[in-house]
Amino acid sequence: MAEQKKMVEAITPMEEDFAKWYTDIVKKAELMDYTSVRGCMVIQPYGWAIWENIQRILDARFKELGHENVSMPMFIPESLLNKEKDHVQGFAPEVAWVTMGGSEKLPERLCVRPTSETLFCDYYAKVIHSWRDLPMLYNQWCSVVRWEKTTRPFLRSVEFHWQEGHTMHETAEEAKAETEQMLNVYADFCENELAIPVIKGRKTDKEKFAGAEATYTIEAMMHDGKALQSGTSHYFGDGFARAFDITFAGRDNSLCHPFQTSWGMSTRIIGGIIMTHGDDNGLVLPPAVAPVQVIILPIAQHKPGVLDKAYELRDLLKKRFRVRVDDSDQTPGWKFAQYEMKGVPLRLEIGPKDMEKNQCVLVRRSDREKIFVPLDELEQAVEAQLEEVRRGIYEKALARRESMTYTALNMEELKDLADNRPGFIKAMWCGDPACEEKLKEAAGVSSRCMPFEQEHLSGTCVCCGKPAQSMVYWGKAY
Amino acid sequence: MAEQKKMVEAITPMEEDFAKWYTDIVKKAELMDYTSVRGCMVIQPYGWAIWENIQRILDARFKELGHENVSMPMFIPESLLNKEKDHVQGFAPEVAWVTMGGSEKLPERLCVRPTSETLFCDYYAKVIHSWRDLPMLYNQWCSVVRWEKTTRPFLRSVEFHWQEGHTMHETAEEAKAETEQMLNVYADFCENELAIPVIKGRKTDKEKFAGAEATYTIEAMMHDGKALQSGTSHYFGDGFARAFDITFAGRDNSLCHPFQTSWGMSTRIIGGIIMTHGDDNGLVLPPAVAPVQVIILPIAQHKPGVLDKAYELRDLLKKRFRVRVDDSDQTPGWKFAQYEMKGVPLRLEIGPKDMEKNQCVLVRRSDREKIFVPLDELEQAVEAQLEEVRRGIYEKALARRESMTYTALNMEELKDLADNRPGFIKAMWCGDPACEEKLKEAAGVSSRCMPFEQEHLSGTCVCCGKPAQSMVYWGKAY
């Protein structure tokens, strides 16, 4: 077990330095590497395969709900970005500008898209004529660029990958229903596929998307008690439609503006997976998106029949699961540590003694539980154990979130919690941005969301004591 | 049939103006739309669905051959682009430069990747240490930017989508074998999936990729006799490896440079599909990549049972084929023209009379052949007819290419052909770039490739009369 020990020691323990633990994992699990471009990363095969699995599942759900994929340009002319004033104020400070094409200075600067509302609106203005053209339900998978000063792998990078849905509707009600529907798609995906419990809610005006009327969010709690905004869905009303002069002939032939939404989930969620499920032995991947769901390790593989049996089990399982055999000449100890680091949900050990008993051993990555499985029940056992991994890591994350969620009834309590207890703080708020600002200054917390599931903690704002409008989750965030 | 006539008239006939016929199709089949960014397009849902099908098929083939997908940054620092001198000379004149991040001038300009050899090499230099690390077989799906002066939808745009494979090998032989293998993957994909016959060959030094030792190509002939370079595969030797100081410890522990390849296919191939198979009624799509393979049109759909039968057939077929029912209130004539325009390979008509006979009608888009099919043989008939469409359009394209391929034994013949006969000209060449240049000036043709299947037409160069080295395909190209 010397090798295993060595590999495990190579990660900084979470308790010692959470930030270092995180970067150790992204590097040692071979998810990404740094590049010569500040804030831009190579997403390595193992990391990209996780993203491909996320894409496949989400893309199928979007399409089931009638969305179609398109591709918009990566450049936005400056004049186009400037059309909606809240939007440009929010994004202009953090865009990359293309000013030269070849050796010629461009007559107008182009920004590399930080998000594509303006491009979609430019297109909608051309193609929407009648109520019969609505709804338009588009999505695109692409990368976008935001000139961030401080960057961290997956969590905040200059270039990142995402999907951005953009839809146009005949009525405000339909657009609002779409906004909510897509938030639910994200929440369901996080909880049931990624095993990440999330809180659904609405952002305060201060925290909403530049140009949106309302922003809805799902917020997840990381191991260190910080929040990760894991997906957002925006309702725009007809603000962009008016700015971009998008009109259609309504059912009564009157000229109308359509109502708009957009919604996105990004590679940031890979950071969320790491910081929700990972431990001091490395990554722990939810089975739905794990590039390898079952790693088969032949024990005493030089003994007759062992390797053949391993390949036979792989061929049996590969019809339904993503499975691999490691038949390299590394020691079992090295392999155990390696696949724990990579977060493979199930390890399957098969050796001569197991073969005698016509069984194998399954070990769950999440809790190292060993299960002896008769070979003729293997398929069902793998399916059941993958589900058990998912359930187990979800329950664990949920219990942690609950144990790290506190209630504050006044400023003193809130400051004390913010200073001493990592996690979420539930507190009442009057709705005044000035109080929000004060909480930030005095306690270093920001509003995460006004959850859909409201609780009545008291009748007054935690900050100013005036009548409360809603309960808010407060916390520190990535 | 008035509506059909009207729709058909809306496309410029190919004979009248080929370029206009082409842009009419891309617009009316709703493949793309123009944007406010010069040379950049919106790829609309129908066009993007074709690309998604191309991606799915190619991606599976790449992965079967052991390639892994990764993601590199979209930006290349100027100093990195400058590292390989042939490469930078080829690409620097046509790149877009990012010079500002937010309101700050960048200390070093970044170009938006025109291709990613330099980024992959920068990464390889960090991760390749030993012969055990080789081969590295990477691919990425992304968009790239080349600041083209004149652009045309799909064929030449400022931003375009592609995949770029980048591999590193222990020996030159292995790298050469990879270059050839991937060219064969492209050729097989074009011929068997897209039904586009291609000529495989090697580019002359003048036409090869900037920085490559050898470029291999597949060349297809379009309706108008012009060539479309449809996929390329490059062998780099160890040139980039030396420029980027990529080394590994060989089997004998000596310090070695690895050998490199890259290969790409782009959205340009969608232009190739249009110009190979399209006709004056619109697009003709190869079944393998058609977003809709079978369009079901209920005839006299107000009659009892017709719509239900149409849905029943859809549900039967949808397990194996991409199929849709058009139950809108448009006339049959409009629908016929609409799906011909969109190039749907098979139209399935079902009406009350067909139902009485327990049959339906299949109509092939490619030759309008009608087949009456008993309903209990429908699945097999659809499969057979889709294959017949594929075979039919391939044969037609091949026959056209053969009838438009000529032989020239001297300059006079070559000039006469180039002036009067659109198509390919086979002619012998001495290997001197000066002769290649002369053919360009005198006859307006460029070398398409030195085909792998050589023919001995004569012993002397068509231009200078000196001993010939190889037979070359010459022509005009997109």
Tell me if B69 and A52 make a contact (CB, 8 A cut-off): yes
Q: Cβ contacts (< 8 Å) between A72 and chain B: which residues? A: 35, 42
Closest CA to A472 of A444, A445, A450, A446: A450
Tell me if B35 and A127 make a contact (CB, 8 A cut-off): no
Shortest Cα–Cα distance, B20 to chain A (Å): 21
CB proximity list for A141: less than 8 A, separation 6 or greater: A55, A59, A69, A161, A162, A163
Assign B26 a pLDDT band (cuts: 50, 70, 90): very high
Q: Cβ contacts (< 8 Å) between B145 and chain A: which residues? A: 74
Q: Is the pLDDT of residue B8 over 90?
A: no
Shortest Cα–Cα distance, A340 to chain B (Å): 21
pLDDT tens readout for residues B212-268 = 999 999 999 999 999 999 999 999 999 999 999 999 999 999 999 999 999 999 999
Q: Cβ distance A332 to A347 under 8 Å?
A: no
Of B69, B102, B127, the CB nearest to A93: B102
Closest CA to B154 of B143, B165, B164: B143
Residue B102 structure tokens: 């937010």
Q: Is the pLDDT of residue B6 over 70?
A: no
Chain A residue closest in CA terms to B44: A70
SS3 B105: strand
The per-residue pLDDT for A3 is 45
Q: Cβ contacts (< 8 Å) between B51 and chain A: which residues? A: 71
Q: Is A329 exposed, middle or buried (0-12, 13-18, 19+ CB in 10 A)?
A: exposed
The per-residue pLDDT for B92 is 86
Percent of chain B whose predicted confidence (pLDDT) is above 90:
95
Q: Best residue in B41, B52, B71, B140 to probe A by mutation, most A CBs within 10 Å?
A: B71
pLDDT tens for each residue of chain A, 478 residues long:
444 444 445 899 999 999 999 999 999 999 999 999 989 999 999 999 999 999 999 999 999 999 999 999 999 999 999 998 888 888 888 999 999 999 999 999 999 999 999 999 999 999 999 999 999 999 999 999 999 989 999 999 999 999 999 999 999 999 999 999 999 999 999 999 999 999 999 999 999 998 999 999 999 999 999 999 999 999 999 999 999 999 999 999 999 999 999 999 999 999 999 999 999 999 999 999 999 999 999 999 999 999 999 999 999 999 999 999 999 999 999 999 999 999 999 999 999 999 999 999 999 999 999 999 999 999 999 999 999 999 999 999 999 999 999 999 999 999 999 999 999 999 999 999 999 999 999 999 999 999 999 999 999 999 999 999 999 999 999 9
Q: Cβ contacts (< 8 Å) between B35 and chain A: which residues? A: 72-73, 119, 122-123
Tell me if B95 and A102 make a contact (CB, 8 A cut-off): yes
Chain B residue closest in CA terms to A79: B36
Tell me if B96 and A110 make a contact (CB, 8 A cut-off): yes
| Whether the bond into A352 is cis, omega within 30 of 0 | no
Q: Is the pLDDT of residue B387 over 60?
A: yes
Chain B residue closest in CA terms to A93: B102
Tell me if A45 and B143 make a contact (CB, 8 A cut-off): no
Tell me if B41 and A69 make a contact (CB, 8 A cut-off): no
The per-residue pLDDT for B244 is 96
Tell me if B35 and A96 make a contact (CB, 8 A cut-off): no
pLDDT tens readout for residues B395-408 = 999 999 999 999 99
Q: Cβ contacts (< 8 Å) between A52 and chain B: which residues? A: 69
Of B42, B94, B159, the CB nearest to A123: B42
Chain B residue closest in CA terms to A159: B73
Q: Cβ contacts (< 8 Å) between B133 and chain A: which residues? A: none
Residue A397 structure tokens: 């994350």
SS3 B25: helix
pLDDT tens readout for residues B123-153 = 999 999 999 999 999 999 999 999 998 999 9
Q: Is the pLDDT of residue B394 over 60?
A: yes
The per-residue pLDDT for A4 is 46
Q: Cβ contacts (< 8 Å) between B42 and chain A: which residues? A: 70-73, 119, 123
Tell me if A159 and B73 make a contact (CB, 8 A cut-off): yes
Helix (H) or strand (E) holding B395: helix B378-403
Assign B462 a pLDDT band (cuts: 50, 70, 90): very high
Shortest Cα–Cα distance, A468 to chain B (Å): 39
Q: Is B78 exposed, middle or buried (0-12, 13-18, 19+ CB in 10 A)?
A: middle
The per-residue pLDDT for B9 is 56
CA distances from A370 to A142, A347, B11, B202 (A): 41, 9, 68, 57
Chain B residue closest in CA terms to A74: B159
Q: Cβ contacts (< 8 Å) between B52 and chain A: which residues? A: 69
CB count, 10 Å around CB of B232?
23
Q: Cβ contacts (< 8 Å) between A90 and chain B: which residues? A: none
Beta-sheet pairing, A405-407 with A424-429: parallel
Percent of chain B whose predicted confidence (pLDDT) is above 70:
98
Of B77, B92, B138, the CB nearest to A36: B77
Closest CA to B258 of B271, B275, B240: B240
Tell me if B69 and A48 make a contact (CB, 8 A cut-off): yes
Shortest Cα–Cα distance, A93 to chain B (Å): 5
The per-residue pLDDT for B388 is 98
Task: Read off the pTM.
Answer: 0.96
pLDDT tens readout for residues B343-358 = 999 999 999 999 999 9
Of A69, A80, A147, the CB nearest to B101: A147
Tell me if B101 and A98 make a contact (CB, 8 A cut-off): no
User: B441 phi and psi, to 5 degrees?
Assistant: -70, -45
Residue B68 structure tokens: 């892994």
Task: Over range B365-393, report the average pLDDT.
Answer: 98
Closest CA to A366 of A385, A352, A338, A380: A385
Q: Which domains does chain B have, with CATH numbers?
A: 14-277 (3.30.930.10), 294-386 (3.40.50.800), 405-475 (3.30.110.30)
Chain B residue closest in CA terms to A114: B102
Of B71, B99, B103, the CB nearest to A99: B99
Q: How far apart are the first and last CA of chain B?
A: 36
Shortest Cα–Cα distance, B67 to chain A (Å): 9
The per-residue pLDDT for A113 is 97
Tell me if B35 and A145 make a contact (CB, 8 A cut-off): no
d(C-alpha B66, C-alpha B136), whole Å? 9
SS3 assignment for B3-17: HHHHHHHCCCCCCCC
pLDDT tens readout for residues B50-103 = 999 999 999 999 999 999 999 999 999 999 999 988 888 889 889 999 999 999
d(C-alpha B167, C-alpha B157), whole Å? 26
Tell me if B40 and A92 make a contact (CB, 8 A cut-off): no
CB count, 10 Å around CB of A255?
8
Residue A360 structure tokens: 């194998």
Shortest Cα–Cα distance, A64 to chain B (Å): 14
Chain A residue closest in CA terms to B39: A73
Q: How far apart are the first and last CA of chain A?
A: 36
Tell me if B100 and A99 make a contact (CB, 8 A cut-off): yes
Location of structure tokens 């839809």? A167
CB proximity list for A253: less than 8 A, separation 6 or greater: none
Residues linked to residue A235 through DSSP beta bridges, in sequence order: A214, A261
SS3 B49: helix
SS3 A199: strand
d(C-alpha A35, C-alpha A43), whole Å? 10
Q: Is the pLDDT of residue B1 over 60?
A: no
Q: Cβ contacts (< 8 Å) between A40 and chain B: which residues? A: 73-75
Task: Over range B360-377, report the average pLDDT.
Answer: 97
Shortest Cα–Cα distance, A88 to chain B (Å): 12
